[in-house]
């Protein structure tokens, strides 16, 4: 979506890269800060129930497209882990990090694949986000099934986590597209 807006305004390649880098950085910062706030306010269970890192990644995929969104999806949990590890309380936990990287990469890649369609009709963001959530959660469950012999995360445990975060997924499937639609209209308003 952002690519379409930047191209429509005939921005140079250098400026497009600068804008996408800035937007990516803002999204990653949100993906690091939101879980910190959630855990501070709601405790450790708050993260599993509210999935605070997922919202920025969903919005990022819609805005940035497949490649940039995928990068944001992969980097967000890694950067969060490195920063919070340095602070003494790694989030996500090391055992959960590869799974979260996979899941958020799927979230961002799926929404990113719809980005150009979203720029033409922002309401496409609603099914895109919902499809991304289903695909990401399925990828998480599949990875747990594949690696259960070498990981403490079994499909049963993952299924419980998916059920715990179900209401957050539904809420994000409404809020993320509204945010994307709002951003679209802000950048495309006639002065």
Query: What's the CA gap between 76 and 153, in Å, rounded?
Result: 21
Query: What is the per-residue pLDDT across 92-113, written as a single tens digit (0 to 9) for each?
Result: 999 999 999 999 999 999 999 9
The one-character DSSP state at 1 is -
Distances (CA, A) of 96 to 16, 123, 154: 34, 33, 12
Q: Read off the pTM.
A: 0.94
Residues 160, 143 contacting (CB under 8 angstroms): no
Residues 138-149 have a mean pLDDT of 96
pLDDT per residue as tens digits for the range 47-89: 999 999 999 999 999 999 999 999 999 999 999 999 999 999 8
**What tokens appear for 64 in the block?**
């940035």
What are the tens digits of pLDDT across the range 10-28? 889 999 999 999 999 999 9
Report domain extents, the chain: 2-188
| E-only strand ranges, the chain | none
Cβ pair 1, 115 in contact under 8 A: yes
For residue 85, what are the CA distances in angstroms to 26, 39, 42, 74, 122? 21, 15, 20, 17, 38
Residue 2 is predicted with a pLDDT of 86
Does the pLDDT of residue 8 top 90, yes or no?
no
**Residue 88: helix, strand or coil by DSSP?**
coil
- The average pLDDT across 141-164 equals 95
Fold of 2-188: Arp2/3 complex 21 kDa subunit ARPC3 (1.10.1760)
Question: Which pLDDT tens digit goes with each residue over 158-190?
Answer: 999 999 999 999 999 999 999 999 999 988 876
- pLDDT value at 117 more than 80: yes
pLDDT greater than 70 at residue 191: no
């Amino acid at each position: 979506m952002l690519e379409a807006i930047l191209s429509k305004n005939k921005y140079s390649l250098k400026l497009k890269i600068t804008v996408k880098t800035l937007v990516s950085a803002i999204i990653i910062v949100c993906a690091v800060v939101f879980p910190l706030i959630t855990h501070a306010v709601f405790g450790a269970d708050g993260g599993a129930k509210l999935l605070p890192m997922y919202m920025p990644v969903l919005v990022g995929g819609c805005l940035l497209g497949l490649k940039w969104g995928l990068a944001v999806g992969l980097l967000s949990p890694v950067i969060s882990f490195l920063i919070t590890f340095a602070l003494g309380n790694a989030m996500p936990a090391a055992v959960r990090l590869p799974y979260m990287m996979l899941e958020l990469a799927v979230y961002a890649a799926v929404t990113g694949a719809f980005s150009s369609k979203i720029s033409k009709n922002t309401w496409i963001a609603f099914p895109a986000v919902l499809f991304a959530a289903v695909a990401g959660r399925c990828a998480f469950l599949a990875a747990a099934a594949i690696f259960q012999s070498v990981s403490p995360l079994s499909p049963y445990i993952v299924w419980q986590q998916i059920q715990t975060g179900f209401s957050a997924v539904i809420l994000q499937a409404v809020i993320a597209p509204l945010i994307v639609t709002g951003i679209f209209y802000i950048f495309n308003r006639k002065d």
